[in-house]
Amino acid sequence: MSLQNKYALITGSSRGIGRGIALKLAADHVKVAVHYYQNETAAKETLADIRKLGSDGFLVQGDVSQPEQIEALFRRVQTEFGKLDIFVSNARPEIPAFFQPPMEVSLEQWDTAFDSQAKAFLIEVRQAAPLMSAGGRIFAMTYAQGSRTGGLQSWAGMGSAKAALESLVRYFAVALAKRGITVNAISPGWTEDSVLNTLPEPAQDLIRNWHISGWTPMGRLGTPEDIGNVVALFCAQEAGWITGQVIYADGGASLMNPEVPPEIQLGS
């Protein structure tokens, strides 16, 4: 697919899923603003890989939990690109910044979750929309299982923040519909080469084995490339009638029934 003459900003594209999205869009000829927070070296590598794919872009740093830094980020996009066609709100703080059960999470951790997700998206979309014309595409990366379940206790702050983010996606979808700009959330399943790889090895093994052994019907974890492909698909002109949705991109994991062991569900 060619997305020639399109310009994208992806927050948190130094590594993980954001990087996968950046590389897929670059392969489709999109110019990419590579945003990072602390990891300039990784961001430089992403930009170098974008150039190897025949596209181009620039690096921009900022903390998405700070409104004035988000505004500076978009000022830079306006200066460098002059317009924006694709915006992906993908950045998420490191696990220790928010990962606590509901009875223990500090107000600072709670604010970090909400400021970096729902509040950041509110500010980002207000900055992005004026740079966009009809056909613009806005995405929020969510984890919809954490928005609607309560089992992963230490996800309380981030799960609540993602739920608010998904709600805001629907409100912005209506607000921008008349301008021909779509706004959707994408919910990846557990993904390799991402935050997963920062967890202790035993936890990684438990998660991988659970999915490979059946919880993900397709029998593997996702990759950043999988999610890049989903974003690229939704950037196609033909996807212009889909807005305000939460798209599960998880090899079918969200279809499994949590009350029944996978061995019985899969009916082997």
Ligand X SMILES: NC(=O)c1ccc[n+]([C@@H]2O[C@H](COP(=O)([O-])OP(=O)(O)OC[C@H]3O[C@@H](n4cnc5c(N)ncnc54)[C@H](OP(=O)(O)O)[C@@H]3O)[C@@H](O)[C@H]2O)c1
Residues of this chain that bind ligand X (CB under 6 A): 11-12, 14-18, 36-39, 42, 63-65, 90-93, 116, 141, 143, 188, 190-191, 194-196
Q: Which residue is nearest to ligand X (CB)?
A: 16
164 versus 240: smaller Cβ distance to ligand X: 164
Minimum distance of ligand X from residue 187's CB (angstroms)? 6
For residue 246, what are the β-bridge partners?
A: 185
H or E element at residue 8 = strand 7-10
Residue with smaller CB distance to ligand X, 188 or 214: 188
Least Å from the CB of residue 182 to ligand X: 19
Q: From the CB of 237, what's the least distance to ligand X, in Å?
A: 25
Q: Please check whether residue 8 is in contact with residue 85, taking contact to mean a CB–CB distance below 8 angstroms.
A: yes
Min. distance of Cβ 104 from ligand X in angstroms? 21
- What phi and psi values does residue 15 have, to the nearest 5 degrees? -160, 180
What value does the CA radius of gyration of the chain take, rounded to a whole number of Å? 18
Of the pair 17, 84, the CB lying nearest ligand X is at 17
Provide, rounded to whole angstroms, the least separation between the CB of residue 145 and ligand X.
8
Contact 17, 194 (CB under 8 A): yes
Cα distances from 170 to residues 137, 165, 173, in angstroms, run 14, 9, 5
Q: Match 């950046």 to its residue by tokens.
A: 22
For 46-203, strand residue ranges (E) read 57-61, 86-89, 137-141, 182-188
Smaller CB separation from ligand X, 28 or 226: 226
Phi and psi torsions of 126, nearest 5°: -65, -30
Q: Which is nearer to ligand X, 63 or 80 (CB)?
A: 63
* Nearest distance in Å: CB 143, ligand X: 4
Q: Give the 3-state secondary structure of residue 38.
A: coil
Residue closer to ligand X (CB basis): 43 or 179:
43
